Amino acid sequence: MKMPKLQPFAIKTQKFSFYSKLWRLLFKKRQWQLIEDWHYTLPNKRIVIIPKGFIFDGSSYPAIVWLFFSPTGLLLIPVILHDFCFQYNYLWAKQDDNIFKFKEGYGFFKWSTLIRKVGIERNELLLIDYFIWILSMAFGWVNWLTFQRKSKQTLLPEGK
């Protein structure tokens, strides 16, 4: 599997007080951007595409949990899919030469379940993937509702 190519965004700490820097260390989430389209094969063998330019912060669970479960470590693959699904409520899929919206309107619970399955398949860490899924179910709905209230945008893969 080809790994996604990412560009991190800086977390600004210069010219902030010590306490503000500490707050940012513990609670500020770094954002990342895909610098090229990323293709991934789901457990059902469907090829999906996360488009170049997609910006994500690495998951819906509280940043303090990142000290134990880094969203850019073993959880990177499910985290990218999670953030795209939660933001757009669909995935881009590829079949032959056609690119189309896949599972549009799938919803919070089904996306969360799909992401858990991807995590289990990728990492084979059943307990950790279930724990992260539970955190996503507990905290992810806040991000889900925020994204669903925003205007619907579309981020297109190259060639679409």
List the strands of the sheet with 6-8, edge to edge: 6-8, 32-34, 55-56
Give the pLDDT confidence score for residue 45 in this predicted structure.
92
Q: Where are the domains of the chain?
A: 30-149
Give the pLDDT confidence score for residue 37 in this predicted structure.
96
State yes or no: pLDDT of 153 exceeds 80.
no
Q: Which residue would you say has higher pLDDT here, 107 or 159? A: 107
Residue 93 DSSP code: E
End-to-end CA separation in angstroms for the chain: 23
Mean pLDDT of all residues belonging to the chain? 85
Residue 3, C-beta contacts closer than 8 angstroms, at least 6 positions apart: 76
Which residue in this structure is represented by tokens 């060639």? Answer: 159
Give the pLDDT confidence score for residue 65 in this predicted structure.
67
Least confident range from 31-45, 102-116, 134-148: namely: 134-148
State yes or no: pLDDT of 58 exceeds 90.
no
Buried b / exposed e along 70-82 (16+ C-beta atoms within 10 A) = ebeebbbbbbbbb
State yes or no: pLDDT of 66 exceeds 70.
no
